[in-house]
């Protein structure tokens, strides 16, 4: 990916690494435009990845999270994700209708056209729980 990805803006890069013994991660928090490069690398006899965070401004603020060494009944990734949730907050359960079939398409559309699409789903036997129209973001 080096040199091909556009800078991240408005997102919080989170990288998780896993090997046979432990899991570790880093959460980079910076509101400025940030570039994240991940390169495969060799370190002596071991293989791994090199991760480079580069923000155009702001303070270096990050969290490093890690699991304990390998044990019989421990899920290393779950432990690190739990630590992440204590920093960022726990995700709520989705609303029940989110689990059903949703249809969304961006198009300039009127309320009458939306109602016609809804009737068409019923007429052709397609179950639908949520029908929504996306907005133009750009």
Q: What is the pLDDT of residues 6-64, one digit of tens each?
A: 665 567 788 888 877 788 899 888 878 888 888 887 777 777 888 888 888 888 889 99
pLDDT at 8: 55
Domain boundaries, the chain: 14-88, 96-134
Q: Is 67 within 8 Å of 22 (Cβ atoms)?
A: yes
Segments in 10-127 forming alpha helices (H): 76-88, 111-123
Q: Which residue has the higher pLDDT, 85 or 47?
A: 85
Could you tell me how far CA 94 lies from the centroid of its own chain? 16
Using DSSP, how many helices (H) and how many strands (E) does the chain show? 2, 7
Query: How many Å from the N-terminal Cα to the C-terminal Cα in the chain?
Result: 25
pTM for this predicted structure: 0.56
Q: Which residue has the higher pLDDT, 41 or 113?
A: 113
Report the distance separating Cα 115 and Cα 39, nearest Å: 50
């Amino acid at each position: 990916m080096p040199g091909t990805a556009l800078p991240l803006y408005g997102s919080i890069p989170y990288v998780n690494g896993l090997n046979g013994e432990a899991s570790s991660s880093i959460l980079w928090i910076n509101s400025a435009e940030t570039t994240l490069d991940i390169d495969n690398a060799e370190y002596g006899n071991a293989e791994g990845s090199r991760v480079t965070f580069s923000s155009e401004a702001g303070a270096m603020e990050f969290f490093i999270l890690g699991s304990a060494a390998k044990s019989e009944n421990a899920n290393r990734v779950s432990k690190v994700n739990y630590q992440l949730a204590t920093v960022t907050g726990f995700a709520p359960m989705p609303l029940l209708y989110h689990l059903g079939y949703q249809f969304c398409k961006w198009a300039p559309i009127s309320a009458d056209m939306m109602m016609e699409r809804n009737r068409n789903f019923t007429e052709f036997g397609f179950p639908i729980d949520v029908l929504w129209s996306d907005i133009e973001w750009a």
